[in-house]
Structure 1
Amino acid sequence: MRTNLRSALLCAALFCACATNTDVKQVESKLEQQKSAADSLGAQLAESRAILEEAKESQKRTEAGIEVALKNQADSKADHDVMVSKVNSLSAGLEENAHYLKTVDDKLKKLEERVRELQILTMESGMAHNQRIESLLAEIRGTAPDARKPIAEKKPEKKPEAKPPAKPEKGKAEEAAKEKPAPKPKAASAEDLYNSAYKNFLRGDYAQAAAEFAEYVKRYPGTDLSDNSQYWIGEAYANQGKLKEAAEAFKMTAKNFPKSTKAPAALWRAAEIFEKFGANEEVRAILAKIRDNYPASYEAALAEEKLKATEGQQ
């Protein structure tokens, strides 16, 4: 009886021991699984933290980039404002330079006109002096036979045998006089009148110069210097401040001497004077006449440019 009881207790103990080992193993297995899961979660947590830190850094970089962009935008606006200011300053400077260049160009044109006038004056003066010299030489050659005549008449009284008769000598003198006749008084008078007017103009006696040039045109309307005289009447009036009379004199130059080289220059001077009076229609009409009637002249190019400028202002 006791033996059976012991055997039963032993079997029960052994069964309990077996059951406990199995449970322990199961628990240990679960613990391992939980530990593994915990480790996995820890790794995921660490990875998540790393991602979070990276996100924070990225956010910081983005914020920094935004700040830089905003700053650059502000700087760009400031730079843009500065640039606009500089451009405006440059534009104003360019306008001033353009105005200055136009002023210089106008002065150069006036200087060119003055140089051209001086060249014409020099040429006219040279021509006048050459004509005067030729006239004097002609007078000398024409009067030489008469100057020798008294000598030929006196010598036969002293030595009649050494000299030919007076009549043949007189015939030679007459032939020489026919070959080289003395200049006509009118030509010399015209030359003297023109030279006197020209000298008075150079001296600044414009009233006397205008009167003498006008007298020249009246007395000698068909000479090579008639057109020049008419032109210088206008210049003499202009220098006296008589602008209306000057303009009419310049227009008369082109009217009476349309083929003269003085015609386009005279019309241009008339246009300048009418522009001072504000007679814009008259100015445009004169400029068109220069352009159409004298296309090869220097004044035609000036007139074309002036017409374009006035058309742009309308």
Structure 2
Amino acid sequence: MKAKPVSLVITLLLCSSCALQSDLVILDRRVTALRQQVSQREERIKTLNSEIATYQDKQIKTDRTLHNKQADFGALLNRIRNRLQELRGRLEENEYYVKRREDVLANTESRQEERWKALEKSFQSSLDRIVRLEQYLGMEPSEKLKSPSTEKSNTSAKKTPDNLYVKAKQQFDKGKYEAARNLFQSFLEQYPKSKEADNAQFWIGEIYYREKWYEKAILEYQKVIEIYSKGNKVSSALLKQGLAFLNLGDQDNARLILKELVRKYPGSNEAKIARERLEKFQ
């Protein structure tokens, strides 16, 4: 009778041992699976960290490149500003001598006007003497001559914006640049709001360009770009301004202005010429 409880206890212990061993196997499998998941996640994290580091390196290089380009562009703009300031300084001296020459011309014209008035007075005096002589002799009065002042007043056309602009352009087409420049400047002073004002300003710059006074031409073209920014001569002014810098041997400023022309007016004939010029810089 005592043997039965002992064997029952042994049986229970054996069953418990088998159950415990089975649980351990299951637990071990779960641990192994967790280790694999952790390992995979760690590999994934490493891959992501590597990709992030690569992206950060590319971003740093991109930012550095953009910063360098911005610095180069800013340096070029500063060089243009300095160059324009230098040109303005040089032109102040040149304009002084031009003003002196204009004063001399004005004095000459004044003296010519005085001589003309004297001749006119003399002619009128002679005409009066002839009329009195005819009356004294009882002759049939001849057709009276008109005095120069009368003829001048009758024949001179009334000044209008169109007439003045056309006259200036005719002088330009004939190659009489000084006369054309004076007329264009007079036109701008009298009719600054005219529809032809931007054209007149451009032709002033063109006159200096043809006279090879490139510094002055650059400044006159700049007035077209700044004052008449909505006019139809801006693209032409940019092109000629770039070519003027090129003629002065300043390729950096010439390149910058021609690129600006292509960017703002890509479909214009001026942009086509600018591209051809830029290709020669390569």
Is the shorter-chain TM-score for this pair beyond 0.5, marking a shared fold?
no
The TM-score, its normalising length taken from structure 1, stands at 0.37
Give the TM-score, by structure 2 length. Answer: 0.41
Name which one, 1 or 2, has greater alpha-carbon Rg: 1
Q: Which has the higher helix share?
A: 1
Higher relative contact order at CA 8 Å, sep ≥6: structure 1 or structure 2? 2
